[in-house]
Amino acid sequence: VRLANAGGRAALLLDDEIADIATVSDGKFGPDLMQIYDAWPAFADWAAGAHAGTGPLVHGDLGCPVPAPRQIFAIGINYREHAEETTSAVSEVPTTFTKFASCLAGPYDNIDTTPGTTDWEVELVAVIGLPARNVHESEAWDVVAGLTIGQDISDRALQLAAGGQYSLGKSRPGYGPLGPYVVSLDEISNPDDLAIGCAIDGETMQEARTSQLIVTVPQLIAELSGVLPLSPGDIIFTGTPGGVGIARTPQRFLKPGQVLESWIEDIGTLRNPCI
Ligand code: ZN
């Protein structure tokens, strides 16, 4: 299943076509995206048998595939290279913050940059598909609806102000582009080991594999669900690899006119123009 937000309506991606889910399911699922995650197991069963498109895929129509999650988790310092480049200690417990929901954006939306401070962080994002509390690591993939790509865009000046305020500094409007689709695990070759990267105007800035995560996706779900309940549609930004702009010599930041492309194997590519 590849689930997209096509013009505000839940849609399945079928090759070069989309299927409007509310239309094809006679109103059983959709058009609201978040209702789909609430009904994920039944939806996934139904979607496996859906093969008829209702229109062409128009990339420019795609919006955020998880537009209104109840909770957004983001993990800091979860790749060794990123820990080293930022001279951060790797803690026993994953460093967790939130991105406020108003920052979520579509896969091709603009990033409104602030000169000299807006930085990139490509991340694997897990979308929860079942209520989850005290989930064991060995069963944690079972509560995941699918995976998508996120950019944890960061205003470094605001992030590092007042002794560190990650949540606010990473939540300006448009600072959470997500997509292009949520891809269910059966369409992903190995969810524990995917190529991930991003580039500015074609120049690669980050390139890694998700097998390099210090705390894996199942471990994060075990850890988080041990503290509080996770709900369908909750999302987890799992941390960024090395190669961010603030850690470069000289430092680099996003500028108007540049295009930031972010990719993960088996999922797709985000393309966000900087304004
Ligand atoms: Zn991040």
Centroid of ligand 1 to alpha carbon of 2 (angstroms): 24
Place of tokens 């606010």: 168
> Is the per-residue pLDDT at 186 higher than 90?
yes
Assign 3 a pLDDT band (cuts: 50, 70, 90). Answer: very high
φ, ψ (nearest 5 deg) of residue 73: -105, 145
- Ligand 1 centroid vs 172 CA: distance in angstroms? 14
Task: Give the Å distance between the CA of 237 and the centre of ligand 1.
Answer: 7
What is the C-alpha separation between 266 and 216, in angstroms, rounded? 18
| Residue 52 burial (C-beta neighbours within 10 Å; 0-12, 13-18, 19+) | exposed
**Residues, CB within 5 angstroms of ligand 1 (ion):** 121, 152, 240
The pLDDT, as a whole number, for residue 90 is 86
Cα-to-centroid distance, 160 and ligand 1 (Å)? 14
Per-residue pLDDT tens for 44-87? 999 999 988 999 999 999 999 999 999 999 999 999 999 999 99
| Cα 29 to averaged position of ligand 1 atoms, centre (Å) | 32
- The whole-angstrom separation of Cα 239 and Cα 267 is 17
Mean pLDDT of 81-107: 93
> CB atoms < 10 A from the CB of 138, how many?
9
Whether residue 239 is predicted with pLDDT greater than 90 in this model: the reply is yes
DSSP category for residue 89: -
Give the distance (Å) from ligand 1 centre to CA of residue 185: 22
Instruction: Write the pLDDT tens digit of every residue in 6-42.
Output: 999 999 999 889 999 999 999 999 999 999 999 999 9
